[in-house]
Amino acid sequence: MAVDGSDGAVPSTSEGVNPTPDLELKLPARAENVAVVRHAFGGFAEGLSVDEQTLADIKLAVTEACTNVVIHAYEDGEEGDLEVDASIDDQLLTVVIRDNGRGIVPRPDSPGLGLGLPLIATLAASLELGRDHGDHTEVRMTFRLDEDRDPQ
Amino acid sequence: MIPDEEHVFNKAWVGVDSGPLSAPVLGRVVGMLAARADCPIDRLDDALLVADAVAAKAGSFSDDGRIRAQIVARMGSVELLIGPLRDGGADGLVSSAALPGVGNVLEQVADEIESREGADSDEYLLIRLDFDAQRSSTTDRMESDVT
């Protein structure tokens, strides 16, 4: 499934991506570690000189995706991992959030408002949901780093 | 590979290409884990110094120039396990942290520096910083988390 929120053509996020990401993070899927990932992306963007608005969008989208893993991926009491990869290819940042949980399934008892994925789709140039070759659940999103932004 | 899985409060594994991204990313992850383990400000500064030294030099001692580190926060300590490194990389990384007129930064701030061999026979460098956790409320929370 793909959600493309951009007007321009965005390369398929599943193809042509550097097999070794520029950044890999793996942490226990706990609420406190969402902040660690968010902070790490602040450092990642500092190294790339990303403009403030784009950085805010990236951090918000990554935070939403990581929060989804913490809340939804694992059964209560189950300890699992949260994996984050980020790759830069020609001003296109690809971020993959991965877990080894139960997958993206409807939850009638969901504690959230269901706004996370639509929000990510709005902020990112593209969004794909699926499973990787290791059967991990994967949220793959791309961001254009060279986009002209109108400060609001 | 964590030498001792007991009393681990939090941990993170980081892989990053050596270059402009490595120091800001590694520093933030180490800083966040140390701060949440109630590391006092002087030791937090030391932990960031270690992270910067590792980010600057570790890529030269791995086979592919990539920096890989596991950061482990325990009650009263934070550890960096850097590797896999190529043969002699652990000693080389420690030696590379020597500054003229200052001495070896890693040896001065760390409570333990040790070369370790992983299950895959690869070489790793363990750097541990000890500290007194600051807030008792958080220490209580940490103790309940690890029991």
A&B contacts, CB < 8 Å: 72
A89 shares contact with chain B (CB less than 8 Å): no
A4, A125, A111: which is closest to A57 by C-alpha? A125
Q: Is residue B2 situated within a structural domain?
A: no
Q: What is the pLDDT of residues A33-89, one digit of tens each?
A: 999 999 999 998 888 888 899 999 999 999 999 999 999 889 887 889 999 999 999
Q: Is residue B3 situated within a structural domain?
A: no
Please determine, looking at this structure, whether the domain spanning A2-6+22-144 carries the CATH number 3.30.565.10: yes
What torsion, rounded to 10 degrees, do the Cα atoms B83, B88, B90, B92 define?
A: -120
- How sure is the predictor about A12, in pLDDT bands with cuts at 50, 70 and 90? very low
A47 shares contact with chain B (CB less than 8 Å): yes
Q: Name the residue of chain A whose CA is nearest to B9's CA.
A: A28
Please answer whether residues B81 and B70 qualify as being in contact, where contact means their C-beta atoms are separated by less than 8 angstroms.
yes
From B10, B16, B32, residue closest to A22, measured CB to CB: B16
Domain that holds residue B29: 8-146
Question: Radius of gyration of chain B from Cα atoms?
Answer: 15
Q: How far is it, in rounded angstroms, from Cα B97 to Cα B103?
A: 8
Q: Name the residue of chain A whose CA is nearest to B21's CA.
A: A47
Q: Do A44 and B27 touch (CB under 8 A)?
A: no
Please answer whether residues A80 and A74 qualify as being in contact, where contact means their C-beta atoms are separated by less than 8 angstroms.
yes
Please answer whether residues A25 and A37 qualify as being in contact, where contact means their C-beta atoms are separated by less than 8 angstroms.
yes
**Structure tokens of A34?**
């969402």
B115, B73, B113: which is closest to B90 by C-alpha? B115
Domain boundaries, chain A: 2-6+22-144
Given phi > 0 = left and psi -120 to 50 = alpha, else beta, which region is A82? Answer: beta
Q: Is residue B141 situated within a structural domain?
A: yes
The H or E element spanning position B114 is: strand B112-117
- How sure is the predictor about A11, in pLDDT bands with cuts at 50, 70 and 90? very low
Q: How far is it, in rounded angstroms, from Cα A69 to Cα A146?
A: 29
Q: What is the pTM of this model?
A: 0.84
Indicate the average pLDDT of chain A. 82
Whether the predicted pLDDT of A18 surpasses 50: no
CATH number at residue B102: 3.30.565.10
The burial class, CB within 10 Å (0-12 / 13-18 / 19+), for A113 is: exposed
- How sure is the predictor about B108, in pLDDT bands with cuts at 50, 70 and 90? very high
pLDDT at residue A130, as a whole number? 87
Could you tell me what percent of chain B has a pLDDT over 70? 86
Number of domains in chain B: 1
Interface confidence (ipTM) of the complex: 0.85
Could you tell me what percent of chain A has a pLDDT over 70? 78
- How sure is the predictor about A93, in pLDDT bands with cuts at 50, 70 and 90? very high
Q: How far is it, in rounded angstroms, from Cα B38 to Cα B46?
A: 14
From B14, B24, B32, residue closest to A46, measured CB to CB: B24
Kindly state the average pLDDT of the residues B20-40. 94
